[in-house]
């Protein structure tokens, strides 16, 4: 914030009063920056993360991170903005067109010694009238507690010591970013400017692979602050599954089931779904990532509801399979109970020190044996025809979160989600056709028994059928 420095004596009282206002916990004063949520991750969390990445960097190196691009939905309308998870993890900033530079060793920028600099969109009354308040450089320093922040227009000509560093770490430079010809410091220009800044450097100095390993290593283990967010996201998602159970009945279009769960997300403070809601009924219960959600549900069919609310960046991912008419058929019950048994076997393996793949091995073995007993498959390998995805993935800022795939550690969250999908035309008795079942929970690895975060939504046949008898406030059809 160089331009302000010479004024510091005069505006110091003003700065401290803003700082006190901003740091007030009542949330009211953050309004000037367009921030209304009162339980966002604290600046100290993001600061700690910057320290952690710095500790992994070798001496005399620099790491560069870019915010996520703004994406066009159609013509002049954009998709709702979503920050890049690594960028959010390190800064807490939810605005586009920004760059974070972390120095292993302190450097001098504009005469001030610093270990980090964040370039952000400048405050602009006209732009803010259209798209809302921004933090600006001053706000980034005060609210996010970034040591040094500048307007992104300064990125091009700021000396970032790339020539003096022994290593420059960055993610592969993306080539798919839209250019806004009216903005000389949009992400597209920032990337081009970065490319030309490092273009002259020796290629041995440039490293575009290490950051992803380091970020995976850090993000895999959840801190207490992150677990608070994840518990919130999961709790809201459980509520959504329960409301859906109460409301579901034949002839309800899949999109209405989606409307119910997404209403519950928003009504409880989750900003949006962490991924497109999968509401697959009948034949669509056998489509793993079905999300057009246009079919009208029918009597005697199943609905796979695979959903996750995102709360302040962190998403849940919980799946339940429901009988549309409130009662599982005999065939549906048989397949459902195999998947449940497989899931319970998988969850048992969610123990510190076990391989990441142990839950998958346990769940697959149950499905494989049981399908053979039913004559649906003829040999152990046949299981892959009907259970064709992995059992677990990491969960966090991304639904398919990053991680090391090393043995499970304390405070890692993974999903356990076996399934059986028997599409029409499969080489087995047609009575099994169009039965698709997936059961998914979010599991926290502890130093003892696994903690099933999504235990708040029932999953036995009896519990589901009982819940489905309850009254729902949601209007149907």
Residues near Mn ion (CB under 5 A): 317, 415
CB of 349 to ligand GLY, least distance (A): 18
Residues 99, 215: Cα–Cα separation, whole Å: 17
Residue 306 a catalytic site member: yes
Work out what residue 255 binds among ligand GLY, Mn ion, none; the CB cut-off runs from 5 to 8 Å by kind: none
Q: Which of 97, 311, 438, 441 is catalytic?
A: 438
Q: Which of 235, 386, 421, 441 is catalytic?
A: 421
Residues 245, 463: Cα–Cα separation, whole Å: 10
Q: Which of 26, 73, 76, 224 is catalytic?
A: 76
**442: contact with ligand GLY by CB under 6 A:** no
Residue 386 a catalytic site member: no
Site string for ligand GLY, 314-353 (x = CB under 6 A): ---x------------------------------------
CB of 300 to ligand GLY, least distance (A): 25
Q: Which residue lies nearer to ligand GLY by CB, 92 or 436?
A: 436
**441: contact with ligand GLY by CB under 6 A:** no
Residues 65, 98: Cα–Cα separation, whole Å: 9
Site string for ligand GLY, 384-413 (x = CB under 6 A): ---------------x--------------
CB of 350 to Mn ion, least distance (A): 14
Contact (CB, 8 A) for 184 and 361: no
Residue 186 a catalytic site member: no
Q: Looking at beta carbons, which residue is closest to Mn ion?
A: 317
Residue 477 a catalytic site member: no
Q: Which residue lies nearer to Mn ion by CB, 102 or 439?
A: 439
Residue 76 a catalytic site member: yes
Q: Which of 88, 393, 401, 441 is catalytic?
A: 393
Instruction: For 425, list phi and psi in degrees, rounded to 5.
Output: 95, -5
Q: Tokens 């059809």 sit at which residue?
A: 477
Work out what residue 275 binds among ligand GLY, Mn ion, none; the CB cut-off runs from 5 to 8 Å by kind: ligand GLY
Q: Which residue lies nearer to ligand GLY by CB, 65 or 386?
A: 386
Residues 174, 196: Cα–Cα separation, whole Å: 14
Q: How many CB atoms lie within 10 A of CB 374?
A: 14
Residues 336, 358: Cα–Cα separation, whole Å: 22
Q: Which residue lies nearer to ligand GLY by CB, 150 or 306?
A: 306
Q: Which of 119, 116, 158, 153 is nearest to 137 (CA)?
A: 119
**306: contact with ligand GLY by CB under 6 A:** yes
**457: contact with ligand GLY by CB under 6 A:** no
Q: Which residue lies nearer to ligand GLY by CB, 319 or 434?
A: 319
**272: contact with ligand GLY by CB under 6 A:** no
List Cβ neighbours of 125 (8 Å cut-off, separation of 6 or more): none
CB of 317 to ligand GLY, least distance (A): 5
**214: contact with ligand GLY by CB under 6 A:** no
Q: Which residue lies nearer to ligand GLY by CB, 186 or 317?
A: 317
**310: contact with ligand GLY by CB under 6 A:** no
Q: Which residue lies nearer to ligand GLY by CB, 171 or 275?
A: 275
Work out what residue 305 binds among Mn ion, ligand GLY, none; the CB cut-off runs from 5 to 8 Å by kind: none
Q: In the beta sheet, which residues pair with residue 101?
A: 64, 117
Residue 46 a catalytic site member: no
CB of 226 to ligand GLY, least distance (A): 19
Q: Which residue lies nearer to Mn ion by CB, 109 or 286?
A: 286
Q: Which of 416, 40, 48, 88 is nearest to 223 (CA)?
A: 48
**275: contact with ligand GLY by CB under 6 A:** yes
CB of 395 to Mn ion, least distance (A): 7
Q: Which of 96, 107, 112 is nearest to 3 (CA)?
A: 112
16-48 per-residue burial string, b: 16 or more CB within 10 A, e: under 16: eebeeebeeeeeebbeebebeeeebbebebbbe
CB of 381 to ligand GLY, least distance (A): 23
Residues 124, 101: Cα–Cα separation, whole Å: 23
Residue 84 a catalytic site member: no
Q: Which of 150, 440, 441, 442 is catalytic?
A: 440
CB of 235 to ligand GLY, least distance (A): 17
CB of 460 to ligand GLY, least distance (A): 22
By annotation, the residues acting in catalysis are 76, 289, 306, 317, 389, 393, 400, 417, 421, 438, 440
Note the residues at the interface with ligand GLY (CB under 6 A): 275, 306, 317, 399
């Amino acid at each position: 914030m160089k331009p302000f420095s010479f004024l510091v004596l005069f505006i110091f009282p003003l700065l401290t009063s803003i700082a006190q206002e901003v740091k007030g916990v009542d949330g009211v004063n953050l309004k000037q920056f367009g921030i209304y949520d009162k339980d966002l991750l604290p600046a100290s969390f993001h600061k700690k993360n910057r320290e952690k990445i710095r500790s992994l960097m070798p001496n005399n190196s620099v790491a560069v991170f870019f915010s996520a691009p703004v994406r066009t939905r159609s013509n002049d309308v954009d998709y709702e903005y979503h920050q890049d998870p690594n960028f959010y993890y390190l800064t807490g900033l939810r605005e586009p067109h920004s760059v974070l530079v972390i120095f292993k060793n302190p450097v001098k920028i504009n005469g001030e010694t610093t270990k980090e600099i964040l370039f952000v969109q400048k405050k602009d009354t006209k732009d803010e009238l259209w798209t809302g308040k921004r933090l600006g450089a001053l706000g980034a320093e005060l609210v996010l507690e970034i040591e040094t922040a500048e307007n992104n227009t300064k990125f091009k000509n700021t000396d970032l010591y790339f020539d003096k560093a022994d290593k420059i770490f960055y993610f592969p430079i993306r080539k798919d970013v839209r250019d806004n010809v009216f903005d000389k410091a949009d992400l597209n220009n920032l990337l081009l400017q970065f490319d030309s800044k490092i273009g002259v450097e020796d290629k041995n100095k440039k490293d575009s692979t290490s950051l992803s390993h380091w970020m995976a290593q850090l993000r895999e283990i959840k801190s207490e602050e992150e677990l608070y967010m994840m518990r919130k996201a999961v709790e809201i998602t459980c509520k959504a599954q329960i409301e859906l159970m109460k409301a579901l009945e034949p002839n309800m279009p899949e999109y209405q089931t989606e409307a119910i769960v997404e209403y519950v997300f928003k009504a409880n403070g989750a900003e949006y779904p962490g991924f497109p809601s999968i509401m697959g009924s009948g034949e669509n219960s056998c489509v793993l990532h079905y999300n057009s959600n246009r079919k009208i549900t029918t009597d005697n069919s199943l609905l796979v509801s695979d959903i996750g609310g995102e709360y302040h960046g962190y998403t849940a991912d919980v799946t339940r399979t429901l009988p549309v008419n409130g009662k599982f058929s005999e065939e549906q019950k048989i397949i459902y109970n195999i998947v449940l048994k497989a899931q319970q076997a998988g969850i048992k393996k969610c123990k510190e020190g076990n391989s990441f793949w142990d839950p998958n091995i346990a769940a697959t073995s149950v499905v494989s044996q049981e399908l053979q007993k039913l004559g649906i498959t003829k040999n152990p390998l046949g299981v892959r025809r009907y259970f064709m995805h992995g059992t677990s993935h990491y969960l966090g800022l991304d639904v398919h979160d990053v991680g090391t795939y090393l043995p499970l550690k304390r405070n890692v969250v993974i999903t356990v989600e076996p399934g059986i999908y028997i599409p029409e035309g499969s080489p087995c008795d047609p009575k099994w056709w169009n039965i698709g079942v997936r059961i998914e929970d979010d599991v926290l690895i502890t130093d003892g028994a696994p903690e099933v975060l999504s235990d708040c939504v029932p999953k036995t046949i009896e519990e589901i059928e009982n819940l489905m008898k309850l009254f729902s406030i949601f209007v149907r059809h």
